[in-house]
Structure 1
């Protein structure tokens, strides 16, 4: 997990572009994490920060 938000955002964006799938940046306690969005469950006790998409918005 990562403790710096800007670093976590950068990793999340890069992961979305590399995997070419949406990824979710979440917070758990004092740390941030990133997972492909389809791997998150509604039961997960996570604070969603942002979802990154691999394709730019037009």
Structure 2
């Protein structure tokens, strides 16, 4: 499993657990996930995908 694939799985699960939109992002060579409302436009992050637990459909 790639780092990106693992990060996607964790971001999706975080969104489902917290029941809030979660953004998967890349910073340098690392991936991370935060609730979308905690991200700031001044952060040096490259957003990859937002997981919304209220949307219907497949996770990936």
TM-score between both structures, scaled by the size of structure 2: 0.87
- Cα RMSD after superposing both structures: 1.5
- Equivalences for 1:35-50 in 2 at 5 Å? 35-50=34-49
* Offset at residue 7 of structure 1 (A): 0.2
TM-score, length-normalised on structure 1?
Answer: 0.89
Instruction: Deviation per CA, 1:4-41: give whole Å up to 9, x if none.
Output: 00000000000000000000000001110000000000
Q: Distance in 2 between matches of 1:38 and 1:55?
A: 15
Report the equivalent of 1:52: 51
Match in the other structure for 1:33: 32
Q: How many pairs align? A: 56
Structure 2 gaps of 5+ residues are none
